[in-house]
Structure 1
Amino acid sequence: MVVTDPDVLAGYRQDRALDPDAGTAAALVRPLTTEQVAATVRWAHEHRVPIVPRGAGTGLSGGATAQTGALLLSTEKMREISVDTVTRTAAVQPGLLNAEVKRTVAEHGLWYPPDPSSFEICSIGGNAATNAGGLCCVKYGVTTDYVLGMQVVLADGTAVRLGGPRLKDSAGLSLTKLFVGSEGTLGIITELTLRLLPAQPPQSTVVATFATLTAATDAILAITGQLRPSMLEFMDAVAINAVEDELRMGLDRTAAALLVARSDAPGEHAGHEADLMLAACEKAGATEAFRTDDPDEGEAFCAARRFAIPAVERKGPLLLEDVGVPLPRLGDLVTGIAEIAAQRGVLISVIAHAGDGNTHPLIVHDPADPDESERAHLAFGEIMALAIGLGGTITGEHGVGRLKKPWLADQLGPDVMALTRRIKDALDPHGILNPGAVL
């Protein structure tokens, strides 16, 4: 289906990053099959028309921002899935939501672990394009760890199949991994072969509050130094209060930080690991800490953490960061962000997948206030510079997109940037795939 209605196109100009530099696409294409994607790309290749691939539009780095005169290719109508319980794999088209994949495989007693906070609204194709992570990734890994194969349409319209339902495969270069996280700049993914696990065991949950950021990060390092939890999440005071404003669940508004940690170790081991985490929080100086084996109570605190971004967003439009550091530098990152917020006079909330060092600083600002907006954007760049200086990354799971592109070279260096450009030029010599993203 090809759409040129300006009102429809307007709804596809931006992803959730709300890139103010979004252009106006010439048309929107919503294919149903790999063959239709390939035909679209062949036409675009022949006529040198740029293509911006798009999933559910929940991206946070501007990777699906429309470009003037380009085609927008949305995979939202590509929604088929089949599950093989023998190989524990699923063949999935990219338009299915992460939550839909989880529900479908759960009907077969299986589990797809990657779980972005937006799992109910983000597409599995977008997850693969950005190598999305989530709350349980500290133990179970990110999207690339579950992509065994794919079908992808290249820049000339050729459709190739990479990998497949094999847990071990060393034939040739690891091309499947090359396309995961490439943000639509090397090819358009039209099908994924996903590795599945048996259903997750029951979890034991630990919740702890802290009077200082330092005490909370000390507890994080103490926990990760002993075991690998199935979840270890962090919320700062701004996030705690924003969530409490909306959910009214009795969170401690005076706390500087809150941790939600979980263990899904088999049998009695989950309780043992939870006790270790509880002890680590208490030793670090938690003002309150408790453990629960009640699944509903544990899930309520996880839901509170997932709700943090929309809760903070109600305070004003956000610049969303996604910086990560090696775990030993997590405390330096969190306290450094607090200093940047104070210096720039902007409200910054920090939430984090603390167990793997991936933080999400949320910079609240009013785009209509030029002075505040300028200070917010300065803080945005300073946070990325801080992360790089601590040996970290400008993005742990959201992708570079267009908003973070100016800082990519600072992290990778000229040699790696040149190598990246050579790969892009080899696979997309005319530069028609997602121009302006990443590079």
Structure 2
Amino acid sequence: MGREDVIKELLNPPEQAFLVGAEWKMTPDGRYVEHAWSAEESLAELERLAETAGLEVVGQSVQRLDRPNPATFVGKGKAEEIAETIRGLGANVVVFDDELSPRHQRELEALFGNKVKVMDRTGLILDIFAQHANTREGALQVELAQYEYRLPRLTQAWTDRAFSQQTGGRAGGSTGGVGLRGPGETRLEMDRRIIRQRIAQIKRELEEVRAHRARHRSQRRRNGLPTVALVGYTNAGKSTLLHALSGAEVYVADELFATLDPTTRRVELPGGTAILVTDTVGFIQKLPTQLIAAFRATLEEVEDADLLLHVVDASHGQAREQARAVFDTLQEIGAGELPILTALNKVDQFADPQSAGLALYDLPDTVAISALTGYGIDTLKARLEEALEAEMARVSVLLPFERGDLVSLFHERGLIQTEEYREQGTVITGRLPHVLLSQFESYHIKTRKK
């Protein structure tokens, strides 16, 4: 730690956090739950998240119970035990490993006292995203997710605390004034109204972002370059792999959610084919639904790819569980049926890289690599070329002017190499996914696999 870091920590010491994990047999409505992760494994990941957010973890506790307590999430006795423990440790933040309901939040805040901040995994992840949002697009998406998460949890205690921080601790006075809804509106009501207005405004701005990204993707399609989206668990090494594939500078950091904004680089494959590879935001188990919805503009880069390259940290003890979390998220965003190639990364951590990750070779089309050392990168490029050729067919079609729908479909899903207008219609030469060939069968000039 450098001198400046030491001074910064002395002036702004990290908040002291206590972590709480729970494992239950049934959901609140009585359905049995199968846990891919043990409570301890999940809590270890939560600790890494807490450290990434700048918290100092001073203790943790796990409880196994039949189902979540409707008032305090964990059992009431356990909650009281935690309250006593955090007082002894001096912790001022309690982080739960599962999403708390607004009622849980209120009851726990009342039990722990107003000097203790109660958070859950979702709130913690949103905080990390806020720290790492370096572009306007990223900041807007995080802000939307935060507001939609906080709105149902907004309480008078929360808004009093926020107001006190903004006014340097002065007591709040009248909330009336020019532009407000009228006398009698409480600060809490005003906060809720302002947040709803801000949510509507952000959604309008993000629609413009989505349209802008769609235009860029359409332009890339017209350039005739196949697109590959890197997907994977957070910190699996996607950014390092993008650098290894392209040779271009890419921001890389050994921390969770270092990359929020999509980064696209051109990659040359062995046969001379050029492709575009996009690094996307990492996934995680229990990924907040607010983030999936808010990051729709970013995740559309995944949905519109010709091929997914799933990067798995083969050296991680929960590699298989992490892969399952990625598959589940892909299904949730509508990308579960896209062709996929799996890169078993970080095999340099094994004594014998060739046999590394053997237990994971039942994942789709695996290639063992080390993005850090370059091991297996040439093999991966060759496999990418084979996979893309297998999914696409070269076609030349003459589409009548009344079939503008097919012209649009070719632009959206195909790779256009040439396009010209003739008296009979539009002639397009390029590549199409095999699943779309039947729709163009009546209009083809020639069709052959590349």
TM-score, normalization by structure 1: 0.26
Structure of greater Rg = 2
Higher helix residue share? 2
Q: TM-score, normalised by structure 2?
A: 0.26
